[in-house]
Structure 1
């Protein structure tokens, strides 16, 4: 379970970084695309901090 959550978090983190880099190429929607990248990166950190910590009994 931990490996699956780690892989999902890593993919979500990489996707968020990619979305933030693409935001400057999207004309007219730079801010919403960049903000969605920030949300994706934040969620990728929230999964291990909150979900995995409670599942492991820590």
Structure 2
């Protein structure tokens, strides 16, 4: 597994969790911030499944 895509995926995952946590502290934009967290976590999970899975197919 390549280190750079892993670090990007991990950073997106942590940022998404942070967005989940602060969603109730942003008056008027709770749903938008929470949805942004869902998108960040989904992209973070898609990176290893799609991009890194194809790169290591010779195993």
Give the structure-1-normalised TM-score. 0.92
Question: Which structure 1 residue ranges, 4+ long, deviate > 2 Å from structure 2?
Answer: none
Once superposed, what is the RMSD of the aligned Cα atoms? 1.3
- After superposition, the C-alpha distances for 1:8-39 in whole angstroms (9 at most, x for unaligned) are 11111000000111110000010011000010
Q: Which runs of 5+ in 1 are unaligned?
A: none
Secondary structure in 1 matching 2:51? helix
Equivalent pairs, count: 58
